[in-house]
Amino acid sequence: MRRGAGAAPDPSRVADVVTARAGAWLPAPCWAVVGPQAGGAPVVLAGRGLGPREAPAVRALGSWVLRRSRVASSADLSRDARVPHGPAAAAVALPLACRARTVAALVGLDSGVASRAPRLPGALRRALRLVLEPAAFALDDARRLEQAERLAGTDDLTGLFNVRALTDTLRRESARTSRTARPLSVLVIDLDGFKKVNDEHGHLCGSRVLIEVAALLRDGLREIDAVARCGGDEFAIVLPETRAEGAVAAGERLRARIAGHVFLRRAGRAVRLTASVGAATTNGAAMSGTGLLDLADRALYDMKAAGGNRTGMRPVGCVDVERAK
């Protein structure tokens, strides 16, 4: 079991191995592994035979096991207080434990209700614990590795990508653009007058401003876009599948979000800032990620020199586009 699960490089694939083999341990048509996610509620990492109604019930029962580190069983989830609006199905949920803690829950569902909740004799529980422990170690190791990789590519202050992750993303997206001739755009954003915030309000307030800017950028982008802090008060954004017009619109939208926001309200202050935005796009032409970033950085420099609070575009092979406010 550990060899099969341990070969999988991420938690979801490890969980998929576990659900594939669970039927050999206990007979049930539906199996799922529920585990925690960073900063959020537990999720179904993998599932087999689950319908749209079963998935929330599995998540609810698995969450109960994660909180209490105990086996849970139910004769009828539709009447189980632990599972709001559950289906008419019997269920059993087992903790996947290692290193003195429960790292996930294995949940099995039957196709109908039972006369009583499934019971697992002590000998069977001990046997299942021995079988499931290697899977728990594999899941925990995969999650630790995933977390380490995420932290290695994350800016400590803002939680955005750092320069390393930005470089990797640019390399990957520029290679895809070269293969498919699809457009790729990059934005570089720099705050206007940020030094004055540090001078007048202190560096702690300055850090808080950067955190608020990061949230404004993150919330103003698509899921496929990648935003990074490049250091200081400079940010970069990778926009896949985006032509010049779309990049200008995105840069202008983000510039307006920053200009319209009141910073440091929670600290009892009201700070206004603007930003300059430089952009570049391949328009489907082959170009390295670093070359595209350099073009966007040059466009940013032009916007700063023109007075700031502007969005400027340098498409490859196109006339520059500038919007000033």
203's CB contacts (< 8 A; 6+ apart) are none
Tokens 């932290």 appear where? 151
Report the Cα 292 to chain-centroid distance in Å: 25
Q: Return the H-helix or E-strand segment holding 68.
A: helix 54-68
- 102: which strand partners? 97
Cβ–Cβ under 8 Å, residues 139 and 103: yes
Both tokens of residue 303?
A: 């916007």
Burial class (CB in 10 A: 0-12, 13-18, 19+), 83: buried
Catalytic hit among 16, 76, 80, 233: 233
Distance CA 73, CA 91 (A): 6
Cα distances (Å, whole numbers) of residue 124 to 25, 70, 93, 131, 148:
10, 15, 14, 10, 36
Whether 233 sits among the annotated catalytic residues: the reply is yes
DSSP string for 243-274: -HHHHHHHHHHHHHHHHT--B-TTTT--B--E
Between the alpha carbon of residue 28 and those of residues 51, 91, 111, 115, the distances in Å are 14, 9, 8, 16
Residues catalogued as catalytic: 233
